[in-house]
């Protein structure tokens, strides 16, 4: 298969590439690096990426930012980051990418554990993750041409605990390689409308 991995230079993205590259042709998309550049907050950039790459069999997104902060210090601008980047950035990868997917192709997005198991400072992430999970379940029932869509919802990564351990006390981290298996399941399997929780 020909697969775009958006965010393929990040921690999860690199693990996805390592997992899938032995079996498929991988195109890594990043904001400033990779085989092709894309800013998922800009529709024009997403459209440019798809035009450069052409038809594909799968699109994986491991990209998107959110703001972490105390609820009493959060304002619309802080929430807007997650809405524009992690939520609508990934939704627009789907909306603008449908015509570039070959019949039977798939989208795999990334949400996260915080809507299921929230932490302090994480209200924006929880909101965006919940919206992504809901979007995927609903979008799946309207996909034509046997297209599929799923979302991977990982817990905190072992590789990230050095930076985030104080926020995730009591959470059992998982290695990025284990998270990457869920993306293989989504891309190479037959399921659709699924939220693959890892950890």
Per-residue pLDDT of the chain (199 residues; tens, 9 = 90+): 999 999 999 999 999 999 999 999 999 999 999 999 999 999 999 999 999 999 999 999 999 999 999 999 999 999 999 999 999 999 999 999 999 999 999 999 999 999 999 999 999 999 999 999 999 999 999 999 999 999 999 999 999 999 999 999 999 999 999 999 999 999 999 999 999 999 9
Report pLDDT for 157: 97
Question: Based on the structure, what is the number of domains in the chain?
Answer: 1
Q: Residue 178 has what pLDDT? A: 98
**CA–CA distances in Å: residue 15 to residues 131, 134, 165:** 25, 25, 21
pLDDT value for 156: 97
Q: What is the pLDDT of residue 171?
A: 96
Q: Which domain range does residue 22 map to?
A: 2-198
pLDDT of residue 83: 98
Residue 167 CA to residue 124 CA, distance in Å, equals: 14
31: its two tokens? 């904001």
For position 96, what pLDDT does the model report? 98
∠ CA 83-137-184 to the nearest 5 degrees? 90
Rg (CA), the chain: 16
CATH code of the domain covering residue 74: 3.40.50.720
The per-residue pLDDT for 5 is 98
**CA dihedral defined by 66, 68, 69, 74, rounded to 10 degrees?**
10
For residues 137 and 121, what is the distance between their CA atoms, to the nearest angstrom? Answer: 27
């Amino acid at each position: 298969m020909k697969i775009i991995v958006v965010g393929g230079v990040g921690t999860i993205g690199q693990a996805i590439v390592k997992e899938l590259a032995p079996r498929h042709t991988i195109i890594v998309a990043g904001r400033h690096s990779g085989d092709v550049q894309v800013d998922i907050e800009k529709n024009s950039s997403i459209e440019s990426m798809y035009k450069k790459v052409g038809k594909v069999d799968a699109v994986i997104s491991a990209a998107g930012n959110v703001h972490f902060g105390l609820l009493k210090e959060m304002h619309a601008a802080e929430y807007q980051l997650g809405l524009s980047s992690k939520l609508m950035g990934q939704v627009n990868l789907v909306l603008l990418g449908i015509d570039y997917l070959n019949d039977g192709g798939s989208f795999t997005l990334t949400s996260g554990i915080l809507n299921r198991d929230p932490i302090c400072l994480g209200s924006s992430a929880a909101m965006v993750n919940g919206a992504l999970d809901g979007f995927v379940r609903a979008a799946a029932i309207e996909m034509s041409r046997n297209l599929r869509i799923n979302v991977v919802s990982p817990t905190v990564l072992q590789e990230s605990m050095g930076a985030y351990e104080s926020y995730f006390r009591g959470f059992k981290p998982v290695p990025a390689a284990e998270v990457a298996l869920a993306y293989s399941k989504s891309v190479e399997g037959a399921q659709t409308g699924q939220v693959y929780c890892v950890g």
